[in-house]
């Protein structure tokens, strides 16, 4: 027999008399507060968009694109990053948080994992403790996210206002593949290019942590393992065939300028570094070609430092701007690219013999350091196509087509990406396509 006295009332609990022991209001004060907060959270960005507010790129990358349903579970995992990136007032909120934290507590706001004197106690400083390797960057395998996060930040704050990109350190301590394998894969591109009768050149932009270490803090997460990897990295790089090491030129530029050719609040080099890269690449490909070059300063360029923006600060980066006259008289610089996505071809002088320039059709595939040098690189070539390997996934066919119609292929990458092994150029499918297409289209 059913005990009817234990049954719940046949009405909603909010409709019961207030005196009833089971009475619960439909919207208590806490519920109302939560609803109001939710409404403000979702309505404010929408209203900001209506009145002209737009999300901006405040990190060292483009805004995350809306995930595709074709990504499977990636559609859901990618939604969080897209939503975060497209909050209209995120930059202002980060800047306010950073200002309050520095003003009240004298330390940076905890934008990411907390930065201290190193990883939290008990968490290994790099691959040595998690089975990924021996601390010199030759480790691989699965990576533990909790260990990777401990003590590492997106931006490392150094002395005298110098900022460093956290991935310069973290990527070396937690590589996706061994350094030896990464360089072997890069060498496959060289072999495919040279076997087809074309010329190849690899150059690597050094991290700012490598070239300007004097402003790094005394202690930071990953200091020891990144130092070991850096040493091993340049040992392996020096063993590569058709390799251009730009570190000596950067060191010479620092001695001549009296300061490093890198921005204090940005991860890239200044225009001095961009001119240096252009000169070194041209001279390596054709010794003596730069003998007639002149590059007088003609003013200043100013933009926002990307590392400062990642901390929510609006800080300008300023650099001397140059003209580049390969023949000693005619300025051949171009407008700096506003966006670096698909192939950008500069071929107005194709087939012409211009003093101080390289006439052979050339493909140069690079990253943000190529983008930062895009004012000067076209000046050194009569027929140059710039390609972006971070966008290689969208332009594989166009990239390989450019390789096929070129006589010279230059690969420019950055130390941190090679050290981490995180390069679209290393994808097995792309490597196979390059080998097959170039073998089928030799030039001699």
- For the segment 165-180, what is each residue's pLDDT rounded down to a tens digit? 999 999 999 999 999 9
Lowest mean pLDDT among 99-113, 199-213, 331-345: 99-113
pLDDT the model gives residue 145: 47
Mean pLDDT of 345-362: 92
Q: Sign of the C-alpha dihedral, residues 352, 353, 355, 357?
A: positive
Distance between CA atoms of 299 and 305, rounded to whole angstroms? Answer: 19
3-class secondary-structure state, position 321: strand
Give residue 140's pLDDT band: very low, low, confident or very high (50, 70, 90). very low
Tell me the average pLDDT of the chain: 82
For residue 319, being part of any structural domain is answered with yes
Mean pLDDT, residues 148-157: 82
Three-state DSSP state, 386: strand
CA distance 172 to 236: 14
Given a cut of 60, whether residue 123 has pLDDT beyond it is: no
Let me know if residue 365 belongs to a domain.
yes
297 in a structural domain: yes
For the chain, what is the domain count?
1
Q: Is residue 191 part of a domain?
A: yes
Tell whether 60 is covered by a domain. Answer: no
- Give all strands (DSSP E) within 174-294, no chain letters: 199-205, 243-244
In a domain, residue 363? The reply is: yes
Task: Determine the Cα–Cα distance for residues 324 and 378; give it in Å rounded to an integer.
Answer: 10
pLDDT attached to residue 409: 98
The answer to whether position 19 is within a domain reads no
Instruction: Give the residue-averaged pLDDT of 226-232.
Output: 96
How confident is residue 17, by pLDDT bands cut at 50, 70 and 90? confident
Closest listed residue to residue 338, CA positions, set 367, 372, 381, 384: 372
Angle between helices 428-440 and 396-404 (to 10 degrees): 30
Instruction: Write out pLDDT tens, residues 79-89.
Output: 566 666 666 65
Please tell me the distance from the alpha carbon of residue 237 to that of residue 225, in angstroms, as a whole number. 18
Q: What's the confidence (pLDDT) of residue 399?
A: 96
- Give the structural domain span for 268: 160-440
Residue 131, in any domain of the structure:
no
Is pLDDT above 60 for 213? yes
Residue 141: which of 130, 157, 152, 150 has the closest Cα? 130
Give me the numbers of helices (H) and strands (E) for the chain, helices first please. 16, 10
């Amino acid at each position: 027999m059913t005990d009817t006295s234990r049954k719940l009332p046949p009405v909603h609990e909010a409709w019961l008399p207030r005196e009833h022991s089971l009475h619960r209001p439909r919207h208590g004060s806490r519920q109302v507060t939560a609803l109001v907060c939710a409404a403000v959270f979702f309505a404010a960005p929408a209203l900001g968009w209506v009145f002209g507010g737009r999300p901006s790129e405040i990190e060292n990358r483009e805004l995350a694109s809306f995930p595709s349903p074709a990504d499977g579970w990636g559609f859901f995992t990618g939604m969080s990053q897209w939503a975060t990136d497209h909050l209209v007032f995120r930059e202002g909120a980060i800047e306010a948080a950073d200002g309050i934290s520095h003003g009240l507590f004298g330390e940076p706001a905890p934008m990411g994992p907390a930065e201290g004197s190193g990883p939290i106690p008990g968490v290994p400083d790099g691959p040595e403790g998690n089975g990924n390797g021996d601390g010199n960057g030759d480790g691989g395998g699965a990576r533990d996210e909790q260990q990777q996060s401990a003590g590492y930040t997106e931006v490392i704050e150094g002395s005298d206002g110098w900022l460093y990109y956290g991935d310069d350190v973290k990527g070396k301590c937690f590589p996706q593949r061994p350094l030896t394998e990464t360089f072997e894969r890069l060498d496959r591109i060289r072999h495919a290019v040279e076997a087809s009768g074309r010329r190849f050149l690899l150059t690597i932009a050094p991290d700012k942590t490598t070239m300007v270490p004097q402003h790094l803090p005394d202690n930071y997460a990953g200091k020891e393992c990144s130092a070991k990897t850096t040493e091993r990295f340049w040992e392996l790089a020096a063993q590569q065939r058709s390799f251009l090491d730009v570190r000596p030129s950067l060191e010479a530029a620092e001695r001549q300028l009296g300061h490093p050719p890198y921005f204090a609040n940005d991860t890239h080099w200044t225009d001095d570094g961009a001119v240096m890269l252009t000169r070194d690449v041209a001279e390596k490909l054709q010794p003596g070609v730069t003998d007639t070059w002149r590059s007088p300063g003609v003013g200043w360029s100013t933009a926002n430092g990307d590392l400062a923006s990642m901390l929510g600060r609006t800080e300008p980066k300023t650099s001397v701007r140059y003209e580049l006259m390969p023949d000693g008289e005619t300025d051949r610089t171009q407008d700096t690219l506003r966006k670096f996505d698909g192939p950008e071809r500069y071929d107005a002088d194709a087939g012409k013999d211009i003093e101080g320039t390289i006439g052979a059709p050339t493909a140069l595939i690079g990253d943000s350091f190529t983008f930062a040098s895009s004012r000067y690189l076209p000046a050194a070539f009569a027929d140059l196509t710039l390609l972006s390997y971070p966008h290689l996934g969208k332009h594989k066919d166009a990239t390989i087509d450019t390789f096929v119609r070129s006589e010279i292929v230059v690969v420019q990458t950055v130390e941190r990406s090679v050290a981490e092994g995180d390069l679209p150029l290393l994808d097995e499918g792309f490597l196979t396509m390059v080998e097959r297409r170039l073998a089928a289209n030799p030039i001699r």
